[in-house]
Structure 1
Amino acid sequence: MQGMDVLHSMKNGQQYSVLNFDRDAGATSIDIYDYKTLSKTKTLVSSANLKDLRYFSDYKFSSDESKIILATNEEAIYRRSSLGHYYVYNISDSTATIISTDKIQEPTFSPDGTKVAYGLNNNLYVKDLQTEVTLQITADGEKNKVINGITDWVYEEELSFVRAFEWNKDSNQIAFLRFDETNVPEFSMDVYGTGLYQTQQVFKYPKAGEANSEVSLHIYHVNDKLSKQVLVQKTYTDFYIPRIKWTNNADVLSAQFLNRKQNELDLWMINSKTNKTNLVLTETDDAYVDVTDNLTFLKDNSFIWTSEKDGFNHIYHYDKKGALINQVTKGNWEVTSYYGYDDKSGNIFYQSVENGSINRDVYSVKLNGRNKKRLSKNEGTNNADFSADFSYFINTFSSASIPTRYTLNSAVSGDVIKNIKDNEALLGKLSAYKISKKEFTTINVNGNDLNMWMIKPLDFDASKQYPLFMTQYSGPGSQSVANSWNSANDYWYQSLAQQGYIVVCIDGRGTGFKGAKFKKVTQNELGKYEVEDQIEAAKILGKRTYIDASRVGIWGWSFGGFMSSNCLFKGNNVFKMAIAVAPVTSWRFYDSIYTERYMTTPQENASGYDENSPINHADKLKGDFLLVHGSSDDNVHLQNTMRLTEALIQADKAFDWAIYPDKNHGIYGGNTRLHLFKKMTNFINENLGDKIKNN
């Protein structure tokens, strides 16, 4: 599969850059291409020409594109965070200067390109690129106690960001979050490695109902070398600050505050000169309010915002004081991505599911909500990367039958100007294999039409009966039934189909892109309605003449493993077998932000936690069960599997299990994934199929 790595639209709007790797030379480069011709015009920088930099894995331009931060020696910390060595490459003289000999986090240019701020050892630093003097701007950072400018574990995992600092547009102020983790309980994991003694990783992890970090907002004034804490008058004392963003006024910072229950989100405007704070917008919901990444400030500091307050996620335009100007998009469909606003044409560009919840299309619409235009032409999944001046976009398209295609399109008409990459060679390779069509339909379950796909054996014979193997994830707001090209697991499902299984995936209640009511029906009861839907769907499918209702299995990973465990236990007269990989087995063991968003706290909702937790239904196991976990899973802790294992033992239930040493939630590295999927395939064949061994 061919792709476009680290695509960046140059500020002239006529060119874009891509990170390329030269396998023969073993070097990486940033290459510049013209939108109109798609031809490469120059190599901006190549590691082959840098004596201290053998390769780089990522890059970021300064605002004026005269300098580039190049990343190398990156090592993952958690899901989104990493440490690395970073160089500033100066395009004018082709020099590369290391920012710090220490491995650092999230180096970020000031807008004027004269400084770089970064995180190191839980503190924030600013390096002046002209004088090469580095200033430490916080001093109280300490492992497992205080973090400045970088998020803690639970913010990174559940609020999806790592860099918790932002430059203002004049490059003279830095807003940052400070996390005091002192009272957050610690979690520890043994790391077995290859030494005589194991080591231990200890980190702060707030489980549901436990103490979170105390987070505070600060503004550092670069010229005065002083920090000031920002205080706002909230009605709640336990809260999150999920987003901060400077407005077009260099002295006005926006900050989103979210109460711990996550059913009230407040947008504040903070004047860093006067210290005056104004609450401009409040979103409330009976269940929870999603945090938006789509806040965009226009030249007059009016702003664009997305919200599902009318029951579906849509785009809104507010004035700078928070008064609604208009709702830009409307309808019983969801906006799924917001791409930006072009102040020249007055167009907003976005992606939505208006053409069916399993599809994605690219649209433009005027700021006043008029002249909506569908820009993408093909049915499937379309995603856009717009040029800086919104004259072009690179459309990434795929469907279940067409691998990813990249095309250059007009932002006015959506018409294809040129094809970039089409991956036709991949289709040619796949033609040598037995590939079944992925059939999309809906199935009516418990009064709802649920999206479903089915893969049948290539030699399917409706007069025969086949075992049914169900796959799902089912987490809140998620989607597994999508009209897009194969994921890695799809090839496994094709393999199972050719071994004689019918493979099915169904998105039940609680999943996304069908409106807030459908998604939030599972509130306070995770694992109730979702499990009921999978069990009932299995019963309905089992009545089809070509499905053997005595041989039905289900599997899932993470939330999907929580589901597959519950389905086997609660649906013990429906499912013959299940596989659960890295499952949550009690929501009491999972983190505060994710769990409480949907369940409130265990103290408030004990029954919701316990009645739907697999560890409390282990005694119902009748079928065949395979339980899998990585011992270094920092996300869904091995504790989940150990507690379920103990419950099964005490219930005197036979089951199979596997622990992958020192593997995290993804369970990969070396031969690991191959071993895992062989193990799962053999388990399926032994318990649903004809005992075919894959050695």
Structure 2
Amino acid sequence: MITRKLTFLLLFSLFIASFSLAQKQKITLEEIWGGTFRTQQLDVLRSMKNGKQYTILNFNRSSGARSIDIYDYKTQEKVGTIVSSSDAIPPFSSYEFSDDESKVILATEVEPVFRRSRIGIYYVYNIADKSLVKISDNKIQEPEFSPDGSKVAYVFENNIYINNLKENTTEQLTTDGKKGTIINGVTDWVYEEEFSFVQAYEWNSDGTKIAFLRFDETEVPNFSMDVYGSDLYQTQNQFKYPKAGEINATVNLLMYDVEKGTSSNVDLGEPYYIPRIKWMNNPNYLSVQTINRHQDHLILHEINATDNSVKTLVEEKDEAYVDIHDNLTFLADDSFIWTSEKDGYNHIYLHDQDGNLMNQITKGDWEVTNYYGYDQKEDRVYYQSVENGSTNRDVYSISTSGDNKKRLTTSEGTNSAAFSADYTYFINTFSSANTPYVFTLHKALNGKMLKQIKDNSSLATKLEGYEMSNKEFSTISINGNDLNMWMIKPADFDPSKEYPLLMYQYSGPGSQSVANRWNGTNDYWYQMLASEGYIIACVDGRGTGLKGRDFKKVTQLELGKYEVEDQIAAADKLSKLPYIDEDRTGIWGWSYGGFMSTNALLKGSETFEMAIAVAPVTSWRFYDTIYTERYMQTPQENPSGYDDNSPFNYPDLLQGDYLLVHGSGDDNVHVQNSMRMIEALIQADKDFEWAIYPDRNHGIFGGNTRNHLYKKMTEFAHKNLRDRPQKEDSLLKSEKIKG
């Protein structure tokens, strides 16, 4: 009798659960790419100099107007509007204040050049008299106020100009700029992409000098790609792109004297790369970082701008490479704070004016992931780290002596901070795998939460109506390492069933895909796939970041070797779980992840039945100098490292189902990579599927493009993974369940 009751209750519970799921919607691709699950943010947040207020760029959806609005930190009330777009003020997409906050530069009619670079029509808006002045009739780049706000420097067609706002005159600082040969004041393609900056000039603190970089890319090989457009004939986009082992631009540092109107060259010896310049507080001193071609020897220099003399402050050397970063703060006396991973983990260091080490501020087997700044009045250094587990982020403060460390955030997940100018407050952005973004105001000294600013509870409520599954975090022991992993199972998961497994990874050096943070757009796709009968998993293997120098740099000189071994081993181990069908295992990735998924399918043919590769590198010989040589040195020095893991060198290994996708307008990972892979597979007489998206760049987006791409990937996964005929072998399945 009791057994019958238990059986009835179990069946009734299963019925209720099934009924509940049946009432919920399944996520669709149209919703994902139509913005249904978009989160609310605090856009373009800037602390004002008084430390009591901040500004936000707001957008009124009903009127279409954009405004820069002022909010009070303490009350969180809107207290004013600096400027709003109108008939007199054109719509703007970003803004920058002058130092005294009396003027603001407004960006309009902005067009992308490459990943970070933009050209646009820029205006100076005077807050007091509400006047609007166009900086130039041309579309320009990187305008920046002089320290007193009386002038604006900018770059037009590779030359630097200064607009004198008081006198309404324009002065041209350089004259030799020319497309394809000389660039002044902004970076070339490879610096922009790999050193992550565009503006290559800086005003000193009193506006008397401008330091700038000059690139001579005359000898850099030319790259061109067809732009098909809609006209009768296609056109060509041409730019200089140095591939691994090829010639880079020659870069020089120059000093411009604003009063004299003359430039002088700064002799740095023979620097191969100049990835950072930054003025100190003293207007006569400039800091410059240089690094050699192998990127294993970095020097932080001090330049005396009165005579251009050079002194070494810090040298960093590493057997693999030294990372470039922006974690450099000069204190009032020009002693400075700097981060380094020289003890095996990324930590914060204090140096005196001459570069001598005063103290290592943070220590431990964990990484500092962001450096926010220093409050000299309270002697507090503010930073973000993974001290609470490598998949989480918290905000901390510590004294320069390394004492009195305080954890300022308490919610487990990903926390990041935006501090007020005087370090009285910070606005914390928090999210986790289960909580969409929440914005809260905190006291900087103790982390006490003062007010909630904004959350995404409406999105959370909306998602309650959808079939969603938890992202389960764990570790998996692979090749002697405990690797971070997440897994998503169907909401109606039944452990007695077998499910197809789709693995996602990126795996690039120093990257992280397994993190306790809110959904990206791909996560909604994974939820959709889970609702259609998949298990999705992601494993961060060797070479990924935030677990120390040695874990990250083990892949040096052999990109694609250890990372692929880890993905194959992880898939093998997961396939042994009783609820995963070992005959239906797939893997996918984009960019470096596409390189990985291609290699995993070829080298792991006994493990993977299917792979999707989007915009993959198929040979590091085709990729740029700075990124590739950082990890591989040159092809001339390391030919086997390049070729042993280039998938088009072994197309005969293909046994599973393969989908290859690329945008023909990809300026980053050129479509050449996929074309060479396609040709190799054709000559090996291998069957596969491929798609080229005309004129789309590395992101493959625009119009209906993303929706079309993900529909294609979904259908490919259904056909070759979910609906793949299952092998019937009851004995093997029985043994698997026992194991």
TM-score after normalising by structure 1: 0.98
SS of the equivalent of 1:305 reads: strand
CA contact (8 A) 1:566 1:617 kept: no
Asked if the contact 1:247–1:297 (Cα under 8 Å) also holds between the matched residues in 2, the reply is yes
Map 1:176-325; keep pairs closer than 5 Å.
176-233=212-269, 237=270, 239-325=272-358
Q: 1:30 maps to which residue?
A: 68
1:410 equivalenced with 2:451 (yes/no) = no
* Letter paired with 1:197: Y
Give the Cα–Cα distance (whole angstroms) in 2 for the partners of residues 26 and 548 of structure 1.
51
Aligned to 1:366: 399
- Give a deviation string over 1:339-388, Cα, whole Å, max 9, x none: 00001101000000000000000000001111000000100000000000
Tell me if structure 1 keeps the 8 A contact 2:584–2:724: no
Cα distance between partner residues in 1 of 2:142 and 2:90: 21
Amino acid at match of 1:333: W
Describe how 1:66-145 pairs up with structure 2 within 5 A.
66-145=102-181
1:274 Cα deviation (Å)? Answer: 2.2
Does residue 602 of structure 1 match 2:635? Answer: yes
1:345-364 matches, within 5 Å, as 345-364=378-397
**CA distance, structure 1, for counterparts of residue 91 and residue 283 of structure 2:** 37
- AA of the residue aligned to 1:31: D
Whether the 8 Å contact between 1:292 and 1:305 is mirrored in structure 2 is: no
**Whole-Å Cα distance in 1 between the matches of residues 309 and 666 of structure 2?**
44
Question: Which residue is 1:430 aligned to?
Answer: 463
Q: 1:24 offset after TM fit, Å?
A: 2.0
The answer as to 2:611 corresponding to 1:578 is yes
2:647 aligned with 1:611, yes or no?
no
Contact 1:151 1:161 in 2 (8 A): yes
Aligned equivalent of 1:682: 715
C-alpha contact (below 8 Å) 2:96/2:104 kept by paired residues: yes
Where structure 1 has 5 or more consecutive residues not aligned to the other structure, the ranges are none
* Residue type of the alignment partner of 1:229: N
Please name the residue that 1:651 is paired with. 684
Q: Return the structure number with greater relative CO, CA threshold 8 A, min gap 6.
A: 2
Q: What SS does structure 1 have at the residue aligned with 2:401?
A: coil
The AA in structure 1 aligned to 2:677 is L
Structure-2 residue corresponding to 1:158? 194
Aligned partners of 2:357, 2:701: CA distance in 1, in Å? Answer: 48
Which residue of structure 2 aligns with residue 488 of structure 1?
521
Partner of 1:55: 91
Counterpart residue identity of residue 502, structure 1: I
Q: Per-residue displacement from partner, 1:383-415 (whole Å, max 9, x unpaired)?
A: 000000000000000000000000001101111
Q: In the aligned structure 2, how far is the partner of 1:246 from the partner of 1:413? A: 32
- Report the Cα offset of residue 602 of structure 1: 0.1
Query: In the alignment, residue 517 of structure 1 is paired with which amino acid?
Result: D
Residues 1:522 and 2:555 aligned together: yes
1:10 aligns with 2:71: no
Separation (CA, whole Å) in 1 of partners of 2:308 and 2:510: 38
2:537 alignment partner AA: V
| 1:641 aligned partner | 674
- Alpha-carbon distance, 1:238 to partner: 5.8
Q: How many residues align?
A: 687
CA-to-aligned-CA distance 1:155-182 (integer Å, 9 cap, x gap): 0000000000000001010000000000
Distance in structure 2 (CA, Å) of the matches to 1:263 and 1:630? 33
Q: Is the 8 A contact 2:271 2:290 kept in 1?
A: no
CA distance in 2, matches of 1:302, 1:366: 15
SS of residue matched to 1:530: helix
2:595 corresponds to which residue? 562
Greater radius of gyration (CA): 2
Q: Which letter maps to 1:525?
A: E
2:19 aligned residue: none
CA contact (8 A) 2:122 2:135 kept: yes
Write the letter of the residue equivalent to 1:482: A
Q: Distance in 2 between matches of 1:268 and 1:640?
A: 39
Kindly indicate whether residue 505 of structure 2 is the aligned counterpart of residue 505 of structure 1: no
Note if contact 2:159-2:174 (Cα within 8 Å) is conserved in structure 1: yes
Match of 2:664 in 1: 631
Mapped to 1, the partners of 2:577 and 2:189 lie a distance apart of: 47
Provide the C-alpha distance between the structure 2 equivalents of 1:452 and 1:545, rounded to a whole number of angstroms.
18
- CA distance, structure 1, for counterparts of residue 268 and residue 516 of structure 2: 45
Given that residues 472 and 505 in structure 1 are in contact (C-alpha distance below 8 angstroms), is that contact kept between their aligned partners in structure 2?
Answer: yes
What is the TM-score of this pair, normalised by structure 2?
Answer: 0.92
The 8 Å contact of residues 183 and 216 in structure 2, kept in 1 or not, is answered as yes
Distance across 1 between alignment mates of 2:463 and 2:241: 44
What secondary structure is seen at the aligned counterpart in 2 of 1:220? strand
- Percent identity, please: 65
Code of the residue aligned with 1:542 in structure 2: it is: S
Summarize deviations over 1:166-216 as a string: whole Å, max 9, x none: 000010100000000000001100000000000000100000000000000
Whether contact under 8 Å (1:295, 1:305) holds in the other structure is yes
Q: 1:162 aligns to what SS in structure 2?
A: coil
1:21 to 59, 82, 92: 59
SS in 2 for 1:176: strand
**5+ unaligned residues in a row in structure 2: which ranges?**
1-38, 726-739
| C-alpha displacement of 1:232 | 2.0
Corresponding residue for 1:548? 581
Q: Tell me the secondary structure at the aligned position of residue 688 of structure 1.
A: helix
Q: What CA distance in whole angstroms lies between the structure 2 residues aligned with 1:691 and 1:47?
A: 55
Q: Secondary structure at the match of 2:80?
A: strand
Matched, 1:449 2:476: no
Return the letter of the residue paired with 1:25: S
Deviation at 1:691, TM superposition (A): 7.0
Does residue 390 in structure 1 map to residue 428 in structure 2?
A: no
- AA at the equivalent of 2:63: A
